[in-house]
Amino acid sequence: MSTDKIQKIAWKYALQNAIKFNGKANPKAVVGKVIANLQKDGFSPKEIIPVVNSVIKEVNKISIKDQIEKLEKIDPELLKKEKKVRDFTLPNLPDAVIGKVITRFPPEPNGYLHIGHAKAAIVDHEYAKMYDGKFILRFDDTNPENAHLEFYDAQKEDLKWLGIEWDLVYNTSDNLEKHYKYAEQLIKQDNAYICQCSPEEIKHGRYHGKECTCCGTECADNIDLWKQMLSKSLDGAIVRLRGDMTCDNTAMRDPTLFRIIDSPHPIHGDKYRVWPTYDFAGPIEDSIGGVTHPFRTKEYELRDECYFKILDLLNLRKPHLMEFARLSIEGMPVSKRKIKPLIDKGLVSGYDDIRLPTLRGLKKRGILPKAIKQFVLEQGISKVESTINFGLLEATNRKMIDSIAKRYFFVKDPIKLIVENAPKLTKKINLHPNNKELGTKIVKTRDEFFVQKSDLDKINEGEIFRLKELYNVKILKKNKEIIAQYEGENLIPNSAKIQWTNDEYIKMKVLIPHPLFVDDKFNENSLEQVNGFAEKAILQLKTDEIIQLERFGFIRIENIENKITGFFSHR
Ligand SMILES: [Zn+2]
């Protein structure tokens, strides 16, 4: 009877803890809660601990989805609390078995990762976690012209920043011999042939649904030609699948499986010259790599038929291939074709420019990785294409940083304010109105201040306003400088509260990003610069800290040593 009670409470808190920490409950935390809950009933830790440990083993065996369902039944209120931390779950995968799901993220190492990659990586990674499966990072590097050594590492770094860890990482190019073996099998089975037509002829043939003469080459001759391709005695040839040149799905009109690319590969140098296309490498790697649930974006949907045909012909295991819509953000292109010219012309500073949706750009702008994750999961994996306003991601981010961002004063377009009879004060001011853990700042004031000109425009001579967190002043004279007088510390209802700096201000530059493209044209005003004075306490911050400049916005500190630069995040 008594263990029943411990069991019940242990299940509740083990589930809650597991849901909070991605499906794995932490024994220490759970034991603490259960003991606190049961001590009044006279249970001793000796009785409680072994029960909790065995319950945790059970809980950690099941998927997050099941954990959520169980807690929903046991204690829906507790689940609601936890869902605030994690109020999203992906839909179930078809034919998924706990512990057996394998997903993969297959980037081409040809550039920095952007928000679109983040969506794929996050969805793949989440599913692997949800089913207690495995997540593979696979570099699809079978085009030596595109692959660059620096990007293998850069992409890994970007993923780590997102909080994504992989169980296995490898390069498709390392499996090339296997791809050759399967190619040979297809040629021997007469399912593929060598085509030596020009790219124009091939394009023309595909467009008009007409076979080329190479299609009639005998099987034995194709094997011979294939060997010549590999041994460098044949140039300008490709391997094509025997599809259907009249098929409505043009992706099936004898798609290219291999082509010759003589550029050196960043890893294999000039060891290989015949490289598989995406159409061939994708299904082969997914199948032999054990991937159970590969995802790709919807624009590949027409190529699914080819994916499965290749696996059919080779008698290889077929994964559950699934598609979702690409993530596009208004005014923020992700394609290199659009970004690279801007970098070349110096219109953006690089791939980490704060106007770009690269992960490096988002990081610099002050977007937290967990905000990206929540945003992506909230969008879900629907196939409906939509262009999303960046404001949505900013709103998610703002919710996360609001309670942890220290508050400071920033005065743009500063004008000098002299306060007659001002008391000399040393004030301790909280860095956050509610979060006391963020500490305080010490501010010393004399009679000289700086305030924002536009704030003072609204206040007339003879009127009283409050220097925020300090005291009231009455304006005596408005000129190039403002002359005012001290009016006591008591709060006056409805009087304006104004941000200020004392005479020990620091100069600060804030860069504000706007959409890079408007109506598909480069926006000349996409980067705004605001200069102003900030309070000296900011000098104690470090690069990367995200703070709030009151009544201005959240910014990320970019550089504190040289002049202070901040990147505006959002209001
Ligand atoms: Zn041909």
Q: What does the DSSP assignment read for 95-109?
A: T--TTT-EEEE---S
**How many A from CA of 223 to the centre of ligand 1?**
15
**How many A from CA of 524 to the centre of ligand 1?**
48
The residue whose two tokens read 């659009």 is 338
**How many A from CA of 211 to the centre of ligand 1?**
8
- Which of 87-96, 168-177, 373-382, 449-458 shows the highest mean pLDDT? 168-177
What pLDDT digit, counting tens, does each position of 192-227 carry? 999 999 999 999 999 999 999 999 999 999 999 999
| Of the listed ranges 60-64, 313-317, 364-368, 437-441, the one predicted with least confidence | 60-64
**How many A from CA of 212 to the centre of ligand 1?**
5
pLDDT of 18 > 60? The answer is: yes
DSSP class of residue 475 equals E
Arithmetic mean of pLDDT, 423-429: 93
**How many A from CA of 196 to the centre of ligand 1?**
5
344 alpha carbon, distance to own chain's centre = 25
Q: Considering only residues 267 and 67, tell me which one the structure prediction assigns the higher pLDDT.
A: 267
**How many A from CA of 189 to the centre of ligand 1?**
19
Confidence band (pLDDT; 50, 70, 90) for 567?
low
**How many A from CA of 205 to the centre of ligand 1?**
9
Residues sharing a CB contact under 8 Å with residue 345, sequence separation 6 or more, in sequence order: none
**How many A from CA of 65 to the centre of ligand 1?**
52
**How many A from CA of 561 to the centre of ligand 1?**
63
Confidence band (pLDDT; 50, 70, 90) for 260?
very high
**How many A from CA of 197 to the centre of ligand 1?**
4
Q: Is 95 exposed, middle or buried (0-12, 13-18, 19+ CB in 10 A)?
A: exposed
For residue 271, the model assigns a pLDDT of 96
Q: Name the token pair of 499.
A: 């941000």
Q: Name the token pair of 401.
A: 């940083």
- Which of 28-32, 159-163, 479-483 shows the highest mean pLDDT? 159-163
**Strand pairing of 464-467 and 471-478?**
antiparallel
List b or e across 32-65, with b for residues whose CB sees 16 or more CB atoms inside 10 angstroms: ebbbebbeeeebeeeebbebbeebbeebbebbbb
Cα dihedral angle (336, 342, 348, 350), rounded to 10 degrees? Answer: 40
**How many A from CA of 213 to the centre of ligand 1?**
6
What pLDDT digit, counting tens, does each position of 101-127 carry? 999 999 999 999 999 999 999 999 999
User: Angle at CA 35, nearest 5°, toward 29 and 39?
Assistant: 165
**How many A from CA of 406 to the centre of ligand 1?**
66
Arithmetic mean of pLDDT, 427-456: 94
**How many A from CA of 215 to the centre of ligand 1?**
6
Cα dihedral angle (551, 556, 558, 563), rounded to 10 degrees? Answer: 20
Q: What does the DSSP assignment read for 347-386?
A: SS-STT-TTS-BHHHHHHHT--HHHHHHHHHHHTT----E
Residues sharing a CB contact under 8 Å with residue 39, sequence separation 6 or more, in sequence order: none
**How many A from CA of 522 to the centre of ligand 1?**
42
**How many A from CA of 255 to the centre of ligand 1?**
12
The model carries a pTM of 0.81
Q: Name the token pair of 559.
A: 């550089």
**How many A from CA of 209 to the centre of ligand 1?**
13
**How many A from CA of 277 to the centre of ligand 1?**
17
**How many A from CA of 237 to the centre of ligand 1?**
9
**How many A from CA of 249 to the centre of ligand 1?**
20
What spatial distance separates the first Cα and last Cα of the chain, rounded to whole Å? Answer: 56
CA atoms of 350 and 340, how far apart (whole Å): 9
Q: If residue 9 lies in a helix (H) or strand (E), which one and from where to where?
A: helix 2-20
What pLDDT digit, counting tens, does each position of 355-391 carry? 999 999 999 999 999 999 999 988 888 887 778 888 8
**How many A from CA of 275 to the centre of ligand 1?**
18
**How many A from CA of 173 to the centre of ligand 1?**
27
**How many A from CA of 227 to the centre of ligand 1?**
17
Question: Are 385 and 325 spatial neighbours (Cβ–Cβ below 8 Å)?
Answer: yes
The residue whose two tokens read 């929903």 is 72
The three-state DSSP-derived secondary structure of 287-335 is HHCCCCCCEEEHHHHHHHHHHHHHHHHCCCCCCCCEEECCEEECCECCC
- Of the candidates 148, 51, 163, the residue with the CA atom closest to the CA atom of residue 107: 148
Arithmetic mean of pLDDT, 24-42: 87
Q: Is 386 exposed, middle or buried (0-12, 13-18, 19+ CB in 10 A)?
A: exposed
CA atoms of 230 and 13, how far apart (whole Å): 61
**How many A from CA of 135 to the centre of ligand 1?**
40
Q: What does the DSSP assignment read for 161-198?
A: HHT---SEEEEGGGGHHHHHHHHHHHHHTTSEEEE---
Which ranges of 429-494 does DSSP label H, i.e. alpha helix?
453-457
**How many A from CA of 143 to the centre of ligand 1?**
22
Question: Are 486 and 473 spatial neighbours (Cβ–Cβ below 8 Å)?
Answer: yes
**How many A from CA of 437 to the centre of ligand 1?**
71
**How many A from CA of 304 to the centre of ligand 1?**
24
**How many A from CA of 201 to the centre of ligand 1?**
8
Confidence band (pLDDT; 50, 70, 90) for 4?
confident
Arithmetic mean of pLDDT, 314-321: 98
**How many A from CA of 315 to the centre of ligand 1?**
27
Q: If residue 239 lies in a helix (H) or strand (E), which one and from where to where?
A: strand 238-241
14 three-class SS: helix
Average pLDDT, the chain: 92
**What is Dmax (Cα atoms) for the chain?**
102
**How many A from CA of 216 to the centre of ligand 1?**
9
Q: Considering only residues 493 and 322, tell me which one the structure prediction assigns the higher pLDDT.
A: 322
**How many A from CA of 285 to the centre of ligand 1?**
27
**How many A from CA of 320 to the centre of ligand 1?**
33
What pLDDT digit, counting tens, does each position of 276-286 carry? 999 999 999 99
**How many A from CA of 248 to the centre of ligand 1?**
20
CA atoms of 375 and 421, how far apart (whole Å): 53
**How many A from CA of 195 to the centre of ligand 1?**
4
**How many A from CA of 217 to the centre of ligand 1?**
10
**How many A from CA of 434 to the centre of ligand 1?**
72
Q: Name the token pair of 263.
A: 């550029």
Backbone angles phi, psi at 193, to 5 degrees: -140, 165
Confidence band (pLDDT; 50, 70, 90) for 571?
very low
**How many A from CA of 368 to the centre of ligand 1?**
51
What pLDDT digit, counting tens, does each position of 479-535 carry? 899 999 999 999 888 889 999 999 999 999 999 998 899 888 999 999 999 999 999
**How many A from CA of 226 to the centre of ligand 1?**
14
**How many A from CA of 245 to the centre of ligand 1?**
12
CA atoms of 130 and 392, how far apart (whole Å): 25
**How many A from CA of 188 to the centre of ligand 1?**
18
